[in-house]
Structure formats: structure tokens, C-alpha cells
Amino acid sequence: MVLFGQQLVDFNEARNKAIKLLGDPESDCAKFLKSHGLNPVELATSLSALIPYDALQSTNIDSFGVFVGRVKDIFKQIAISSGSMPDAAVNNSGTSAYFTGTGLNTTIEIHETYHLIRPGISDASFYQQLGGNSADYSNYGPRAINSLLEKEGCK
């Protein structure tokens, strides 16, 4: 199910802010991403075309990592296995991005858009591409990426 109502408004506000940051070659965010081999314009273009889905309302079948099933059930399974609800996730095929209410911000939208343009690249590999170390990723998981992006002006 696609986002609607206030969640869609929140998503669009964050998306517009992200596109502005990514499209400005002088922004700290764009400079940081470019210095780590990413094309901010490519990210902005992909983000502008993204159709966001509601992770907790979607009942279609999809796959994320080793989990396959109804999207809302998978997010609950991931929450149980990891101890916290994911903010967002891109499916294994890199075709759909699903968000929970906590995932509707600029940083997470940039993070998930990366996975849409680079399907199959793990969060751990993405974090290392951004200059993060594996120990930090081991301690904080995907939130380490979001913290690093925020620190570098992608918020």
C-alpha cells in the first residue's frame, strides 16, 4: 500500500529537502557523498521517482534479506529478531522502498534510495563505502549509516 495522508506529506517534505541537498554541489551532503564515489544527482533523480510504500500496512508478498512474506509481517519479524522495528527497507530486487513512520526523514530517504540504485549492496558495505568502520556497524547496524549521513549534512 502506498503512503497516504500525513505520512505522504511527511515523506514529500523530507524528499524535497533531500533533493535540494543532493542537487546543490556546494552542500556538505553532496560533497561528502561525491567524495565517497556516489553521484548525488543520480540519488536525487532516483529519489524524485520513488513511490513510497507503507511497511506496516502493505500486505503484498515481497522479500528482504532472508525474510519472504507479507511486508507488514516481515517488518514485525525483523523487529522481533533484531530488537527494534526497522525505519525503512528496500526489497531484495531493489524495486520497492517501504517506510515506517520513523523512516520519513531526509537521511533515511537518502539511505534507502542508495539501495534502489545499488541493489544487492548491503548496509555494512554501504557504511564502509562512506568511510565507516566495521566495528561501528557491528554495534549500531543500519542506524550507523543514518548517523554518519546526518553528521555530514544529509539531514
pLDDT tens-place string over residues 108-137: 999 999 999 998 888 999 999 999 998 888
Rg, the chain, Cα only: 15
Residue 63 sits at the vertex; the CA angle it makes with 58 and 92, to the nearest 5 degrees, is: 115
Burial 80-108 (b: 16+ CB within 10 A, else e): eeeeebbbbbbbbeeebbbbbeebbbbbb
CA dist., res. 67 & res. 77, Å (int):
8
Q: Give mean pLDDT, residues 29-53.
A: 96
Residues β-bridged to residue 93: none
pLDDT at 126: 95
> For the chain, what is the mean pLDDT?
92
Contact 108, 126 (CB under 8 A): no
DSSP 39: -
Task: Give yes or no for a contact between 130 and 148, defined as CB atoms under 8 angstroms apart.
Answer: yes
Q: Please check the confidence at residue 98 and state whether its pLDDT lies above 90.
A: yes
